[in-house]
A and B are shown apart, each in its own frame.
Chain A
Amino acid sequence: MSGKASSDQSQVALNGSGALSHVYIQHPPLRCNVPGIQGLYYDDGNKLLLAPSSDQVLSWKVGTSTQLDPPSSDFVGEGPVLSIRYSLDGKLIGIQRSNHEIQFKNRETGGTFSQRCKPDSESILGFIWTDCPSCDVILIKTSGIDLLSYEPDLNTFRLAETKRLSVSWYVYTHESRMVLLASGMQCTIFSGFQFSSAGIVRLPKFEMAMVKAEANHKPVLTAEDIHIVTIYGRIYCLQCDRVGMRLNVYRFYRDAVVQQGTIPIYSTRVAVSVIDNVLLVHQVDAKVVILYDIFLDCLSPISAPLPLLLRGTSVNNRQALQVEDNLTSAYNAMIYGDNWIFLVPDLICDSDNGLLWRIFLDLEAIAASSSDVPSVLEFLQRRRSDPSKIKMLCLTIIRAIMLERRPISIITKAIDVLVISYAHLVKMDNVIHGADRNSKRNQNSGSQSTTTSIVASAEFSGETMNRGKSITGVENESQRSTIRNLEDANVNYAEKSNSKASFNSLSDLDGDRNHDVMRSNSGELVGNSSSTDLLSSDAMKDINRSTSLQDSSYLKQPSVQSEGLACSSSRSDACVSNQQETQFTNVAISPDEMYDSIFASVEEELGGDPAYLIAVIIEFLRCSTKEKLRVHPNIYKLIIQILVRTSSYSELALFVTNKILEPSKEVALQLLEQGHQNSQIRKLGMDMLRHLSLHHDFVTVLLQDGYYLEALRYARKQKVITVHPSLFLEAAVAANNSQHLAAVLRFFSDFTPSFKITSDYNRYHMILSEMS
């Protein structure tokens, strides 16, 4: 991409979209306002928006596209609908008809059956579909939870397990696979279960804190106050304390729930969204949203409270502003209206009007709102939503601060961020490729079902060591991909998209790593790689005992996968659209891109201050070296050009002798080329050629400079026979030295077989006799 074009773009990009906001919803919304529907339901397991009407249910796949596909419909018969969820494989529909009955319908056979509870002693609070190996549906009742397993032959459910406990209400997100069951007088005592494909994890019981309003009045927690969010693959719970006007943040570990701190709120009604791992706290009453990036467990906001913007789709900026004005006037009343339902993780459903909005981050605006460039870059490098755009933005920012001649210390930090980010990617890439190979092998041997999935949260550094111990493994990805394979009937493609679009690894490789981790952490080797899951849980206990509550043992999910999971039903689509991007672009910026998009392009604009550019490149080299990244010789060539242009020969000599410019043929040739002005630099180039044992080139350069005797001696010593004798002879003729010519001629006659019968011999022999 050309420097010019992008710099123009940057003007627009850094200014944001005119209106002051960091988060926006895009017009037009997804419309699902079909007449006759009785409310809208969101099935987050399948990413389906469901609208039951009198006797059928319409379902829209909520993908990443801006428009909804036409709905598919299922006949479900008449009756009240309290909630509705499709099974994860899409074969069954579950409809809660009353507090005592859930009706299930097989979509293929059309057969229905019901699951009831004891009407007098308990009532059904809800149900969820799960990909947990031991059951398919979890029924949540006031008396506990039932784990039901589907028997396709009998078209009914078998009770696999019951867990007895009293439940007031529950919250669940499919993203986290986590169900939290509230009990107690104030509903502040929680039991938690995670039903993942790796198995069931039961969290220790814990209590949430509530600020007392008055002495005798104890507030009661409701389901609306609890938000389960998945950020960077970690599972958090946000508890809204309306009296204390704050959100309590809890993080779930395998065996503990740890309060991380609190976030103040400025509205009695708050909603929570997560977009690209950024936490959005909507202050509904105040109609503003505050953003948090809790990557480093830092609970301070990354932005000022700003309104949610409604944005038009027009490409043209001016037009867009107009459209926005119109839209704002049309929809203004609607924003943060009472009828807005916030869906996990990033959707808003306007149930009255049948509209579905997706929330977007305006990364440009966020980037422009902070002057702390290194933090902005860190923030951007953690985003995954639109890699090529984020990359552009990062490059633009770096270029901008360089052109502004910000202090080197700032530039250094900014470059460090980018280089470190790329270095992580490279490290992770190696891991993924390793895993890729393994998963292929697994698939070949048909062993998917036996491998337990250890999910690689490949993206985020600090966590990688622990991935083997992660218990989440939310989905057995290879099983899933097999299903998709069947659907797509395209094994190769799916294989690719699986390995690339979601950084999943399963396999011995992880098992092996587990061993390593084990050895290093607890000094003993437990289990073997075939039973990774067991191993990990054992390991967990060991480590927990020794290191108490380190990060080594939290529940987590793969960040990228969470995206994949979130839209699992439309997954293949997402893969199609994302595949190319994830395969070829990533937010991380490689050294080559740094060179192309920054150093090479900024050079001209920085013209007056080459020392500044050199300083920046040195910082870049420093960081790249530290991260053991290879740098393209073009960067070295650029340094040479700049230093020669500014006649900083001694610095250049220092750079070469200290190998700051790594020796390579390209660098050597560049030194020779630039050395026309300065023989010292030329010599450095020759030394480099010789040092790299590029004997042929070395001899050629000696000849060019007229050192034909030296060249001959060197050629003889290093046995260079690729340089044609005529070059030596011609140089001797040019020096007009008959003795030397005779010597060279004699040399080739003696040492090169059959030289005497060549035309060269005759020719130069003639010349020699003429000379003498």
Chain B
Amino acid sequence: MPMGLASRMAANDGIQFCVFDSRRGQQEGQEIDKILFFFPPDSPFSAQLSVVGLSGGIITFTRLFSPDAACEVIEEERHSHVFYQAEPDIWMILIVEKNRDTESVWRCDALRDILKEVHSLFTMFNGPLQTLLDKQPSGELARSCLYTFITDYLTDFHVGKKIQMPSFRDCLKERRTVQMLTVSREMAIEVQSLANVIRSSSGSIACKSLILFQDLLVATMLSPGDTANMFAYAVLRLTPHALSSNTRSWSYLRRGVSASNVTESATLLNAGSRTEEYPHGSRDTSPGRHSQRNYIPRPLQRDKWSKGKDGFLVSDVRDEVHITPIVWLQETEEHMYLCVYQHRNLTIILLIPVSSLIDGEQGIALVKKQLLENASEKIAYVEEKISKGWGGENAYHVSGYRYLLVDSDRSISRASPPGKVTTLAKDSFLALNKLREEVDLEKARASREKPDHEHNFEMCIRAKNNAWIIAKIAQGRELYMVLEKANETLLYASEAVEKFSNRYCDGAFSLD
């Protein structure tokens, strides 16, 4: 690792983020062509190249021993490099700086989840990167899409002027999972009935919908993977909470953290620097110029969505015409129009196959009209009923416990409410973070040895502050727990888990 890279990075936000295509730029002197995205964008090319070069080298090297799963992480004294193979030839690297202070402790899998999330969200709106590259081999389309998308995505991690990656304090959260609202059977049927009304009013069998209440999922017709992506997006940008926080942060963003004027700066930077140093013919279409000719959607742009008068959220208005965003579903490999209707706390995401509407925006307008006619009464009813039965943000708090429950098969998680989690001592967090790292390793090892077998195991440690830190894996479900005010004995701790499992997990963790 050349020291130069680290020293230059220190001046930045403490992270580097790189996406590269290992097949491109094979000839000497053209290595820069590998790079599809680099953050910070103003890094000199030498620095970019050194990251890509190192990563590519390590990947090639580790493949010698482990052809299927190459390098996952490099730990340096002052940096962690987290690798993610997003597509067969597409790699994403996140480099985070280890500060002297103790706050920069994290779990590599949590960081990798960020890479996964960026990639899956990107794929949802733009399709797989490889497809973009195939469509336009020069890579400019892919670059400009990635540039706006990832930069918009990273605005969510801004704390002050710095980018703050998730740390050990976030170990009772699981990215890329869905948080569900628990409803009674009666309510579930009502919701399902509403989903059917929505589907039928769209006039197409292939329509799909998701229903959210506040930031919780109530019903979905998508596969777990697509659901997780759509849910993540909704919570980031669509739910009432997301909408209001967008408007609140508006003025702050305007002042300069490059969020709203990403495209402009990209134009300057990329067009300027690259044409200077690498005057290739193909470079003529720089992202900036391209974006002026071709419309590049920026679904993650803050303040993108606003609620229209008819209850539908609107995103892009160009030439006074609404442009409905299009998403790409992994499961069916279909392009869908994304329509969002919001009534108070209820957000309804309606996905209409692009292929089913011949007349585009007009057709969507008709579907919207029908939805309002057929379903608005029912939507109001369901919203009211759920609101009445909703226990508030601490609804899923279990006193005495701080927990995280993950159903990895279905990409669902539930955790103690954030307000309650923050009451934990730092030692507890650190211990849990450590424990989770161990569990991650154990899980990875077990699934390498016996891929088709469910692995059940349990870990329990006593932290410095005498808190019990427990992890229990059973039949694909994971339970992490911190008991700070627990008794001395391990027996007490395991009874506490048993009690929790029986009451809140249908006994899923009390198998033995």
Contact = CB atoms under 8 A, between A and B. Distances in A.
Contacts of A649: 223-224
Most buried by B among A614, A618, A690: A618
Interface centre among B196, B456, B508 (most CB of A within 10 A): B196
A650 B220 contact: yes
Nearest to B508: A687
Interface string B166-190: 0000000000000010010110111
Contacts, number: 90
Interface string A648-686: 111101110111101000000000000000011001001
Contact of A658 (B185, B223, B475, B512): B185
B508 A618 contact: no
B512 A622 contact: no
B192 interface: yes
Interface string B186-214: 10111011001101100001000000000
Given A622-B193, A648-B221, A690 B506 contact: yes
B189 A618 contact: yes
Given A609-B205, A710-B456, A660 B511 contact: no
A660 B192 contact: yes
B185 A662 contact: yes
Given A683-B475, A710-B512, A622 B221 contact: no
A409 B190 contact: no
On chain B, which size bracket covers the interface?
35 or more
A117 B118 CA distance: 106
A612 B220 CA distance: 16
A650 B188 contact: no
A622 B190 CA distance: 7
Interface string A621-650: 110011000000000000000000000111
B197 A409 contact: yes
Contacts of A304: none
Contact of A618 (B196, B409, B453, B454): B196
A556 B113 CA distance: 73
A549 interface: no
A407 interface: yes
A654 B205 contact: no
Given A658-B185, A717-B511, A407 B219 contact: no
A441 interface: no
B374 A650 contact: no
Contacts of A408: 196-197, 200
A371 B512 CA distance: 61
A252 B220 CA distance: 55
B511 A615 contact: no
Contacts of A755: none
Contacts of A612: 200, 205
B189 A650 contact: no
Contacts of B409: 679-680, 683
Interface string A394-434: 00000000000001110010000000000000000000000
B220 A654 contact: yes
A713 interface: yes
A718 B510 CA distance: 10
A621 B189 contact: yes
B511 A625 contact: no
A615 B199 contact: yes
A516 interface: no
Contact of A710 (B476, B507, B508, B511): B511
A691 B502 CA distance: 10
B163 interface: no
B249 to A, nearest CB: 33
A611 B199 CA distance: 9
Contacts of A622: 189-190, 193
B200 A407 contact: yes
Contacts of A657: 180
A650 B221 contact: yes
B222 interface: yes
B434 interface: no
B219 A654 contact: yes
Interface in A35-93: none
B410 interface: yes
A625 B220 CA distance: 22
A625 B185 contact: yes
Given A648-B221, A659-B188, A680-B410, A619 B507 contact: no
Contact of A619 (B180, B196, B506): B196
Contact of A650 (B193, B224, B456, B507): B224
Contacts of B453: 706
A407 B201 CA distance: 9
A659 B512 CA distance: 25
B227 interface: yes
A707 B454 contact: yes
Nearest to B507: A690
A618 to B, nearest CB: 5
Contacts of A614: 196
A667 to B, nearest CB: 13
Nearest to A651: B221
A764 interface: no
A612 B512 CA distance: 43
A218 B150 CA distance: 93
Interface in B453-467: 453-454, 456
Contacts of B508: 687, 690
A660 B186 CA distance: 8
A409 B377 CA distance: 12
A714 B509 CA distance: 11
A658 B183 contact: yes
A409 B454 contact: no
Contacts of A660: 185, 188-189, 192
A626 B385 CA distance: 14
Contacts of B476: 683
B410 A650 contact: yes
Contacts of B197: 408-409
B185 A659 contact: yes
Interface in A713-730: 713-714, 716-717
A717 to B, nearest CB: 6
A650 B193 CA distance: 16
Contact of B512 (A615, A683, A714): A714
Nearest to B332: A647
Contacts of B189: 618, 621-622, 625, 660
Contacts of B410: 650, 653, 680
Contact of B200 (A615, A621, A625, A680): A615
Contacts of B200: 407-409, 612, 615
Contacts of B188: 654-655, 658-660
Nearest to A412: B193
A679 to B, nearest CB: 8
Nearest to A713: B512
B506 A691 contact: yes
B224 to A, nearest CB: 6
Contacts of B222: 650
A586 B219 CA distance: 38
A714 B189 CA distance: 33
Interface in B53-68: none
B193 A619 contact: yes
Contacts of B199: 611, 615
15 contacts: A408-B197, A409-B200, A611-B199, A611-B205, A612-B200, A618-B189, A619-B193, A621-B189, A653-B410, A654-B188, A658-B185, A659-B188, A691-B507, A714-B511, A717-B511
The 3 closest A-B pairs by CB, nearest first: A713-B512, A658-B188, A615-B196
Interface of A: 407-409, 412, 609, 611-612, 614-615, 618-619, 621-622, 625-626, 648-651, 653-655, 657-660, 662, 679-680, 683, 686-687, 690-691, 706-707, 710, 713-714, 716-717
Given A615-B193, A655-B188, A659-B185, 18 more contacts: A407-B200, A609-B205, A611-B205, A615-B196, A618-B193, A622-B189, A649-B224, A650-B223, A650-B224, A654-B220, A657-B180, A658-B183, A658-B185, A683-B475, A691-B506, A707-B454, A710-B511, A714-B511
